[in-house]
Amino acid sequence: MNSFTHLDTAGNPKMVDVSEKQVSKRLARAQATVVLNEEILQHFTGNDIQTKKGGVFQTAIIAGIMGAKKTGELIPLCHSLGLENCHITIGFNAQNEVIIECTATITAKTGVEMEALTGASIAALTIYDMCKAFSHEIIIKEIKLLEKRGGKSDFEEKK
């Protein structure tokens, strides 16, 4: 039976002990979806929205990578990891929603799901922050794990 790994036998918070785990190559992919209204979308030039603060998507990519690198400082009891790679892409789906995908990799004793989720989340929040001058009608509607590999159990979102 599964139990909460961040609680000890007395029910107190604890960091998960990974000292006995094997080192393996770990990968996680996460996605955030942002809905921008037409007022914001009219400001697109090329592949980005230009603001007084700079290119929205370019800034969101940098912010997302920075966020992923700081996940251990942001999420209580999360292990601090030295990511080996973090890659963020931003584009549109068929419904004209902004799709942010963050892939994080490391060779370690613990996975990088939280780093990928944090990277996608921070990129989405940065898009919101930079576009709110045009309109507050922005929806961050979904943040989800798409895939994780390495370690004890793999996961891939069911389509």
| Residue 15: both structure tokens together | 């960091």
First to last CA, the chain: 27
CA distance 68 to 101: 12
Q: Please list the active-site residues.
A: 129
C-alpha distances out from residue 41 to 32, 33, 44, 99, 131, Å: 18, 15, 6, 14, 10
Classify residue 60 by its DSSP letter. H
Gap between the Cα atoms of 136 and 132, Å rounded:
5
